[in-house]
Structure 1
């Protein structure tokens, strides 16, 4: 540890990009004596210092130079790079799962839930298939979709939307919006809610029929983002 007495831990927060890091806590460093070649040379003891910021604070570093941005070692951080406080989340877990009828997630919240494997959300969304609606808050247009065949239900389907290298879940209608307006439009304006849930054993054709019903009820083909 280079003789350091304390360590601040940060982990790369891949949903945002290679230059973003999430705070993982403060630790006291104690060297282990005598040295052993087959073991680590120090112990870390968690400290209460700034523990309220664990998994809430995200810092941004200048974009690294080189072809392997995910594998690098920073030396003299305060001298060579300028950390920027990028985000301080109001709540690590965004609260426990509020019930299927109360889900209303902005894209950055969906990212955090999926990336963090938030237990109550993962358990709830993995336990059901369903019909959902995506709202473009910039114009009120709707996209109705369904999780009808995924093994892990809504969790698996929404995991696609949460990944910054996808964002559209493979939906061609949303992909055209992404190509036209860019990733930032989706991240900044899309909101995700659940319209109807089903037991995991429900046949796909039944769920698809309900998806079609909701497209008609919300008129998302003529005035929304659905094509069929």
Structure 2
């Protein structure tokens, strides 16, 4: 199958007036793909139209193409914006421009994925010099979403991520059919909480409570401010068991993990 480059899809005639920004990381090393999945497009556009401390990124009238890297170790990028610079705000080390989105390309936003290896340290490239190397990988039928359940041993997500994925079909199916022992980690201080799930909807049911109130009715967690939980807690799974497993086995395993991790002495477990 012949490769398709980016401009075979976009059909931009004046490439000399186009710049492509490959958005890796900005805002305290936060990966902008997380902002895309959380719907924070405004934050992403602030990064895209950001000027360096001593260098302008664009000129008035230029077309800008915005890609975000899907995974830090892979060369796949998601298109999230194409716009035209309408005003230079003369701001350095901040948002430097006013712009308008080009509506004729909106049908590709969040759907077009390219493969491109940026061999330069520069994030902003002249389109004419790189567009032939931007190989179209996929044109998704709907907006990008890579939130498939990764496997029980690979779950390690923040509260914000959990809120986003917990009602997705693959996550619901995986979590509502397994009893288990799970771990909450407070990244602000390293304290941990070991919990078990064997009631209605199993792990799914327990984790839904953390989304609702942050503490799930657990004595050791109730004093913690809900905002603190949202900003600092991560969720992972230590053990999983079939739904037919005796609850006493789950409880025994929960106690074993509490001893191993010393979560009663140094963490949030109080029993």
Q: TM-score, normalised by structure 2?
A: 0.48
- Inter-CA distance 213–139: structure 2 relative to 1 (3 Å threshold): same
1:49 matched residue in structure 2 = 106
Of 203, 213, 219, the match for 1:154: 203
Offset of 1:49 from its aligned partner?
3.5
**1:69 alignment partner in structure 2:** none
Unaligned regions of 5+ residues in structure 2, if any? Answer: 1-38, 42-103, 112-142
**Which residue does the alignment assign to 2:20?**
none
Residue equivalent to 2:154: 102
Equivalent-residue separation in structure 1 for 2:231 and 2:179 (angstroms): 26
Q: CA deviation at 1:51?
A: 6.5
**SS at 1:132's partner residue?**
strand
Once the two structures are TM-superposed, the CA of residue 50 in structure 1 deviates from its matched residue by: 5.1
Q: Does 1:120 align with 2:170?
A: yes
Larger Rg: 2
Q: What is the aligned partner in structure 2 of residue 227 from structure 1?
A: 270
Report the CA distance shift for 1:121/1:219 in structure 2 as closer, same or farther (over 3 A): same
Please point out which of 185, 203, 218 is paired with 2:246: 203
Q: What is the total number of aligned residue pairs between the two structures?
A: 141
In 2 relative to 1, CA 22–135 (structure 1 residues): closer, same or farther, beyond 3 Å?
closer
Q: By how many angstroms is 1:109 displaced?
A: 0.4
Query: Aligned to 1:174, what secondary structure does the other structure show?
Result: coil
Gaps of 5+ in 1: 1-20, 24-46, 55-90
Partner residue in 2 for 1:184? 227
Alignment of 1:1-228 (within 5 A): 49=106, 52=109, 93-114=145-166, 117-150=167-200, 152-163=201-212, 166-178=213-225, 183-228=226-271
Provide the secondary structure at the position in 2 that maps to 1:134.
Answer: strand
Are the counterparts in 1 of residues 199 and 205 from structure 2 also a CA contact under 8 Å? no
- Cα RMSD of the aligned pairs, angstroms, is 2.5
- Residues 135-182 of structure 1 show CA distances to partners (whole Å, capped at 9, x for unaligned) of 0000111000010222x111111111112xx1111112111122xxxx
3-state SS of 2:267 partner: coil
Secondary structure at 1:172 match in 2: coil
Q: What is the distance in 2 between the residues matched to 1:156 and 1:93? A: 24
